[in-house]
Amino acid sequence: SAVISQKPSRDICQRGTSLTIQCQVDSQVTMMFWYRQQPGQSLTLIATANQGSEATYESGFVIDKFPISRPNLTFSTLTVSNMSPEDSSIYLCSSILLDTSTDTQYFGPGTRLTVL
Amino acid sequence: QKEVEQNSGPLSVPEGAIASLNCTYSDRGSQSFFWYRQYSGKSPELIMFIYSNGDKEDGRFTAQLNKASQYVSLLIRDSQPSDSATYLCAVRGSWGKLQFGAGTQVVVTP
Mean pLDDT of B60-85: 97
Q: Output B1 or A17, whichever has higher pLDDT.
A: A17
Angle at B80 between CA B10 and CA B66, to 5 degrees: 65
Quick one: pLDDT at residue B1? 59
pLDDT means per 10 residues in chain A (116 residues)?
Answer: 91 97 90 93 92 90 96 94 96 86 89 97
Contact of A80 with A22, CB cutoff 8 Å: no
Tallying the residues shown for chain A, one arrives at 116
Quick one: pLDDT at residue A99? 65
- The Cα B107–Cα B85 span in angstroms is 7
Quick one: pLDDT at residue B50? 95
Question: Which of B32, B44, B92 has the CB atom closest to A107's CB atom?
Answer: B44
Shortest distance between the Cα of A107 and any Cα of chain B, in A, equals 6
- The Cα A37–Cα A31 span in angstroms is 20
- The Cα B4–Cα A80 span in angstroms is 27
B28-44 pLDDT tens trace: 999 899 999 999 999 99
Quick one: pLDDT at residue A54? 87
Question: Which of A58, A90, A104 has the CB atom closest to B49's CB atom?
Answer: A104
